Amino acid sequence: MVKEVASLVSNPLLMQTRLGGNDQQPLLVCLVGDTRITRAVNFTRLYLVKFLDRTKMTSAEKQDYPKASNALVFGGMVTYIAGLMLIMSFSSPYWIQSYQETFSDFKHMGLWEYCFDQFRYPYYQFDRLFDGCHYIFSQEYYVIREWLLPGWLMVVQAFVTLALMLSFTSQIIIALELVRWPLEFVLMYEWLLSGIAFICNAVAGGHVYLCAAVLLFLAVSIFGGECWRRDWLMYPNFNYLSWSYGFAVLSFFFHAFAALFLYMETRKGWELRKESHNLVVQMHPNPGRNGYLLSYMIRYMNPYHMLDSFALDKRTLFEPSGDRDTGTA
């Protein structure tokens, strides 16, 4: 008997094979209790058996889990389109461009790059020509960087960068919700994940959050109002807002539109969670002092919760089998 238990304890796969499903768990409890093996080992091996049983899901069982709602799917698609537009606007140097008919020495610029054609800065004391496209923080533009990068443009850069980070954060969260990974965590906290993705995207309910749409709105508004200043690029009447700026504006609208669907998904999940909580309170109005209300709340707060009675009944994990059979403490 001792050798049999030792072989089972040392080999979890063999233990799971020999004992089978849930109906054989009392046998393992009895064997471990009779041989006086440490209660910590008892708990670990029993939990491992339940974990192995729970991970063996057939394709039919996987189909029973609730799929992502249409609002989440559509909101995710719109968010990915908005993120693609945002990264194109972020990396391309065509926020403002000069008309070809003007033959201006300024060609075009983006958030991080300027392009000139034999440009001479009038306030620089040396006769130096700036030609070609260069990074705004490169050594080529070191002497005129203060003029190329005013304070309002640095604010626009910061807003667009933060919006890009928040947009990708929401895309990662939505992807985890769509593929249902990790399954138990997503099913338990789907309403919270949708809420985080919503906050990262836009505006709802009259409250403005620090999110991608608001940051993009501020960025395109500031740039559209300040790009015509005569103390920045010379001859502003020769320039026009180009397609990179247009992508930023479209990305703002797409993020706000996606946030509407994510807000609907968050509201639906929160209401479902409240209904489940009220049902638990009605079923168990007097919790007593034995802690069973907490177990039922953990089980029923989420209607898709996967935990079984084995994980909730903690007394079976630490009591030897002999004590339960005789009723002694």
Is residue 227 located within the same domain as residue 112? yes
- Residue 207 phi/psi, 5° resolution? -105, 135
Residue 296 lies in a domain: no
Q: What is the pLDDT of residue 321?
A: 46
Is residue 111 located within the same domain as residue 8? no
Residue whose token pair is 């001479």: 120
pLDDT, tens digit, for every residue of 232-247? 998 999 999 999 999 9
Closest CA to 96 of 214, 215, 223: 223
Q: How far apart are CA 250 and CA 256, in angstroms?
A: 10
Domain boundary (275, 295, 321) is at 275
Q: How far apart are CA 192 and CA 45, in angstroms?
A: 33
Under 8 Å between Cβ of 93 and 113: yes
Q: What is the pLDDT of residue 143?
A: 93
Residue 169: partners with Cβ closer than 8 Å, 6 or more residues away: 196, 200
Residue 163 lies in a domain: yes
106 three-class SS: strand
Q: What is the CATH number of the domain that holds 206?
A: 1.20.140.150
Residue 297: partners with Cβ closer than 8 Å, 6 or more residues away: 277, 280
Closest CA to 163 of 206, 219, 208: 219
Is residue 96 located within the same domain as residue 186? yes
Is residue 78 located within the same domain as residue 201? yes
- Residue 133 phi/psi, 5° resolution? -105, 130
Is residue 87 located within the same domain as residue 195? yes
Residue 195 lies in a domain: yes
Residue 75 lies in a domain: yes
Is residue 129 located within the same domain as residue 240? yes
Cross-strand bridge partners of residue 240: 97
Q: What is the pLDDT of residue 11?
A: 47
Cross-strand bridge partners of residue 113: 135
Residue 203: partners with Cβ closer than 8 Å, 6 or more residues away: 209, 211, 213, 214, 256, 259
Average pLDDT by stretches of 10, the chain with 329 residues = 46 45 44 47 55 52 68 87 94 96 94 95 89 95 94 96 88 82 67 66 37 85 94 93 96 87 77 67 56 47 42 43 45
Model pTM score: 0.63
| Furthest CA-CA distance within the chain | 100
Q: What is the pLDDT of residue 195?
A: 66
Is residue 2 located within the same domain as residue 143? no
CB atoms within 10 A of CB 195: 19
Q: What is the pLDDT of residue 50?
A: 55
Residue 99 lies in a domain: yes
Is residue 74 located within the same domain as residue 38? no
Q: What is the pLDDT of residue 48?
A: 54
Query: Domains in the chain: how many in total?
Result: 2
Residue 285 lies in a domain: no
Residue 327 lies in a domain: no
Q: What is the pLDDT of residue 114?
A: 97
Which domain, by its residues, includes 46? 1-56
Q: How far apart are CA 63 and CA 65, in angstroms?
A: 6
Q: State the alpha helices, DSSP H only, in 227-320.
A: 243-283, 292-300, 309-312, 315-318
Is residue 91 located within the same domain as residue 123? yes
CB atoms within 10 A of CB 8: 20
Is residue 31 located within the same domain as residue 103? no
Is residue 154 located within the same domain as residue 231? yes
Under 8 Å between Cβ of 168 and 233: no
Q: What is the pLDDT of residue 54?
A: 53
Under 8 Å between Cβ of 268 and 30: no
Residue 32 lies in a domain: yes
Q: How far apart are CA 317 and CA 324, in angstroms?
A: 11
Closest CA to 254 of 262, 242, 266: 262
Is residue 222 located within the same domain as residue 182? yes
Q: How far apart are CA 317 and CA 312, in angstroms?
A: 10
